[in-house]
Structure 1
Amino acid sequence: MLEKHTVAISAIRVPLKRKKTLCEDKVHKLAESILEDGQTTPIQLRPDGDGYVLIEGLHRLEALRVLGEESVLAYFVRARLH
């Protein structure tokens, strides 16, 4: 079972390909939802050197940034070899 971790947002790197999929409207809607209900679903990260790489949860991460949060709930996952 995956374990939740609290991670500093500043330690997370978002791959360029992933950044291109960002939708500002979705970020603002999620920010409103997080204000009302809190972060209900952790993002997914993989460790990378001294930080982490985002695997899943770009809009949740950006919504938390917009809200001025410094940390995020996350699951750590392993990279898949293709």
Structure 2
Amino acid sequence: MARNEPVQIHEISVDEIYVPAPRRKTLKDAKVEELAEDILENGQLRPIQVRLGKDRYVLIEGYHRLQACMSLGEKIIEAYIVQAKKF
């Protein structure tokens, strides 16, 4: 993405998002519950961040938001699609 290019929010199916194993170990149930309540009251205020994988999106940031939306039965989540950094 070019530096001056506006960031677009995309709507993505939660079923198309892969969460890497190290990220899954960081889940805190109390945080998910708190976020779920906030999302119910205010909507999803901050999109998650994903990158394109081979056949799905890979979560970069927003695991607790993703889980909170899923706990509410949401099938779609707002996300920024970012490019993976090459090292």
Tell me the SS of whatever aligns to 2:49: strand
Q: How many residues are aligned here?
A: 82
Equivalent position of 2:24 in the other structure: 19
Tell me the SS of whatever aligns to 2:65: helix
TM-score if structure 2 supplies the norm length? 0.91
Unaligned runs of at least 5 residues, structure 2: 1-5
Which of the pair is proportionally richer in strand?
1
TM-score if structure 1 supplies the norm length? 0.97
1:28 correspondence with 2:26: no
Deviating beyond 6 angstroms after TM superposition, the runs of 4 or more aligned structure 1 residues are none
Q: C-alpha root-mean-square deviation of aligned residues, in Å?
A: 0.7
